[in-house]
Structure 1
C-alpha cells in the first residue's frame, strides 16, 4: 500500500511531497530546509531513494541537491534543464522505481518552464496520483512568464496543451498534487480548495474548458508583477545550492545596530505591526515574522544587502532565518532579542507611529485634514477598485519611488494591513509622518469612502 505525505511551506504557497511504500520513498520538489523532509521519512520508517524535481524553480531555492547528497538518493531532474551538477536526466516516458510495485512515470508537461515534467505515481501499473509541479494546479495553471519574456506566449500555449495531455491520459479519479498554487506567485491565479482530481479540473479549469486562443489571451492579460527575487532563484537552482546554514547569527547590541543603520544596511523588526507602532528603533523596517516574511522582505531588499534581525525571542529569529533561507536571503549578519529599549542607545532613537482604520481615514477627511492616501496594493488589486484621490504605488516599487509620495501625513493602506505596515515603516524610516491603515479593504466603502475604478 502506498502513501503520500504533504510537506507544506504555507508562507511561500508551496507543497512538497513524500511518496512511498513500506520501505522506500521518493521526494518531489523538496524545500530548502531538508530536515523537515528527513523527519517525515523517519516518521514513516522509510528510506529516501529518489529525489525528484518537476522543474528548476523560480520562487524558492531547492533542497533537492543537498537532500540527495545526505540520503544517497538518486536525483532526478528534467533532462532539458541546464544545470551545473551531476544528476539523473529524466525524459518523457522514463520510469523510476520507488518501492515494490511502486514507480514514478515522467510525463513532459512544458508551459511553466520549457522543460517542466510531471510525474505519475503508479502502483502495480495503475495510476494513483500525479505530481504536477507548476503545470495543472487547483483551478489554475502555473505562470508561463518566469523564464524569458520572448518565450511567454509560446509557453502559455504549451501550458494549455500540457494540461490537456494530463486530462487525456489520466483517469478522472487520479488525484492532482501540484507544488504551486496555494498562495505562490508562480500560480497564474488562486482558486479555492486544497485538493483536486483530474475529473474536478476537467469541469472548472480554464485550460480545460476554454479554447487555446481564449485561454492564452486571458492568461497573459491577467499576469501581474512577480517578486524581484525570482530572478535569482532559477540561476541558484541551476548552479546547485550550497547546504543550508542555520547557525544563529552573531548578537548585536545597541551600538552595532546604530552602526549598521548608519551604514545603510537593513535592520528588520520582526514583531507584530501593533508592537512596532507602539515603539521601535528609528530607521528600522517592520516585516512581521508571522506574515509572508520571505516573500515581502526578499522582494523589497536590494539583493545581497546585509540584514540584521530584531525580535522578541531567539526562537523568532531562528524561524525568520529559516524562512529567509528558503528564498536565498543570506544568513543574517546580526540579530538582537528583547525590546526596543534594548536595541536603542538613547531615547531619541526610539519612535512610535500611528495606526487607524478606514473609518478613521474617512473621519480625517471629514475634518478637512486632507490626508495623503497611499495605496500600496498590486496593480491588479488597484484596477479592481480604489479610493478616490489615492496615490497608487505598489509596495514592491515604493523603495525606488519614495520621492513621488506627496508632502503631508501619509495614510497607507493595502488589502488587509500587512503591506501597509511595511510601507509605513519605510516612510517612517525616511522621516515621513504616517498612519498605517490596519483594516480590510472591503471596510473602505462601509466607512463612506468613495471608490472608483481607475482608467486602464
Structure 2
C-alpha cells in the first residue's frame, strides 16, 4: 500500500491517493482534480474508488466529478442528504479495493455524518480521519449550527476515542484538515506526519480525561471562520461539476475602465508594496502568493457571487483562477498586465503611504484613527493603546463605524492591513498602510494595552 499526499496549502488541506500498484482510492479530493489524475498517471494506477469523509465546509469537492470521469465507485455516507448517485457507506462496512481493505468508521463531531477510513493491506494500516482526529487536535465543531455545537463537541470527544480503539497504534494518520485550514480547532500542530500511537499520548482530545473540560475548552477557543463556508456544504450536496481553469481573454482598456467607474470588484494580484505605490483607483489589493492566504481572505471579505476581474501577470491570474475554483468562485474575468496606466490609460491612478512601526510612532497625530484589522481573539490577546478593532472580514459591513480622520491600519503581518487599506481607500477614506509584523510592535516602542483578565 502506497499513500500519495496531494497538498493544498492555499486552504490548509490535504487529499490522498492510496494504491496497491494497480488500483487506487482517492480520499477527499479538491475540485481541481487534474492534480489527482496526474499523480495516478505517474504511479501507473487506475482510480476505481473515490471517498469523502464528510460534506466539506471549506472547499468544493472534486469527488463527484472525479468518480464520474473514471467510472469509479463514489463512497459517501449513506446518511448524507446528497442529490446524486453514490455508493452509500455505513459504520463498520468493509470495502475491498484491490489488495487492501477499507473499513468505514462513523466519527461524528466535525459534522453529524462524518466518517473516517481505516485502510489495511494485511500488514500495515493507514487512518484517513478527515476533520476528526488531526495532528494535535480535532476538527472544529461549530460549522453546522450554533445549537449543535455542544453536542457535536461531545461527539468529537467520543469519536476520536472510538477511532484510536479500532486502529493499530502504529497506523499512520492522514487527516484532511489541520495544515492551516480554519476547519481545525485548538492546538492543531500542522506537523507533517504522525501515527495513532503518537496522538494517543500527545493530542489533547485524547489526553484530557475530563470530557466536560475538553468540551468547554474547545468551544471557548473557537475563533471566527470564513463566511464563504456557508456556501460549501450546499454546493457539495449537489455533486459539483468540473472547474473551468482556462484564463479568459484579457479585457480591453475601455471595459476595464468602465468596470472601475461602475464600482465593480477589480482585484489587483500584485504584491502590496507595488499596489500601495500606484494602482487603478477603485481596485482592491489581494496580493497573490507568498503564503498570503489569498483564497481564504478574498472569499471571506468580498461579497459572495459578485463578478470579479483579476488584474496581474498571466501566471498569477491562472493560479488565482485555480485557487478560487476550489471555493466555488468560477470564471472570473481578467486584465493581464502589471502597469496600471498601460492597462487603463483613461482611468485614474491612486496610491497611499506604506509605513512601519517607527513611522507610525513618529507621525501618528491626535485625531488620527489607529485601526487593528486582526480578528477579535487576536486583538484580545494584545493590542495597541487606543486601537479600534474592526476585523478585515467585517470592514465592508462596518465601514460607517470607523471614526473620521486619517486611518492607520495594521494587522499581524501586513497582508490583511494591505487589503483593508485598499477597501478603505476605495470607500473614500484617507488611509496609511502599516506594513509590519505585530511581533515587532513592542520593540518599536509602541504602547500596549494591558490584557483583560
TM, length-normalised to structure 1: 0.96
Question: Secondary structure at the residue paired with 2:202?
Answer: coil
For residues 190-210 of structure 1, give each alpha carbon's deviation from its aligned partner in whole angstroms, at most 9, with x where no partner exists: 325221111211122111111
Cα distance in structure 2, aligned partners of 1:321 and 1:387: 37
> Could you list the per-position Cα deviations for residues 278-304 of structure 1 after superposition, in whole angstroms to 9, with x for gaps in the alignment?
210001000011121110111111111
In the TM superposition, what is the alpha-carbon distance from 1:137 to its structure 2 partner? 0.3
Aligned to 2:101: 103
Q: Show the counterpart of 1:422.
A: 419
Aligned 8 A contact 2:251 2:333 in 1:
no
Write the deviation string for residues 351-394 of structure 1: whole angstroms up to 9, x where unpaired.
122111112211224xx455311101111111110111000001
The question of 1:233 aligning with 2:245 is answered: no
Paired with 1:373 and 1:349, the residues of 2 have a C-alpha distance of: 28
Find the residue that maps to 1:386 and give its secondary structure: coil
Q: Which runs of 5+ in 2 are unaligned?
A: none
- Give matches, 1:97-246, under 5 Å: 97-100=96-99, 102-124=100-122, 126-189=123-186, 190-210=188-208, 211-246=210-245
Q: What number of residue pairs does the alignment pair up?
A: 449
Q: Cα deviations across residues 420-453 of structure 1 (Å, max 9, x unaligned)?
A: 1000010111122222111111111111111124
Runs (4 or more) in structure 1 with deviation over 6 Å come to none
| Pairing 1:292-441 to 2, within 5 Å after superposition | 292-311=293-312, 313-346=313-346, 349-365=348-364, 368=365, 371-441=368-438
Structure 1 residue 169: Cα displacement: 2.1
Q: Distance in 1 between matches of 2:165 and 2:286?
A: 45
C-alpha distance in structure 2 between counterparts of 1:171 and 1:120, whole Å: 9
Q: Which residue of 2 aligns with 1:451?
A: 448
Query: 1:25, 1:49 within 8 Å by CA — same for their partners in 2?
Result: yes
Say whether residues 1:21 and 2:20 are aligned partners: yes
- Looking at structure 1, the residues matched to 307 and 176 of structure 2 have their Cα atoms a distance apart, in angstroms, of 30
Normalising by structure 2, we get a TM-score of 0.96
CA distance in 2 between counterparts of 1:192 and 1:303 reads 29
Change (3 A) 1:445 1:393: same
Q: Quote the offset at 1:331 in angstroms.
A: 0.9
Deviations 1:220-271 (A, max 9, x none): 1111111010000000000111221122224212221121123332000000
State which drifts further: 264-273 or 239-248: 239-248
How far apart are the structure 2 equivalents of 1:407 and 1:343?
33
Distance (whole Å) between structure 2 residues aligned to residue 308 and residue 44 of structure 1: 38
In structure 1, distance between residues paired with 2:244 and 2:440: 43
> Any stretches of 5+ residues in structure 1 without a counterpart?
none
1:451 alignment partner, SS class: coil
> Secondary structure in 1 aligned to 2:15?
strand
RMSD between aligned residues: 1.4
User: Conserved in 2, the CA contact under 8 Å of 1:364 and 1:371?
Assistant: no
Tell me if the contact between 2:32 and 2:242 (Cα under 8 Å) persists in the aligned partners.
no
Contact 1:304–1:330 (CA<8 Å) still a contact in 2? no
How far apart in 1 are the matches of 2:86 and 2:282?
Answer: 46
Comparing 203-212 with 414-423, greater Cα deviation is found at 203-212
Structure 1 distance, partners of 2:73, 2:335, is 38
429-438 vs 177-186, which deviates more? 429-438
Deviation at 1:415, TM superposition (A): 0.5
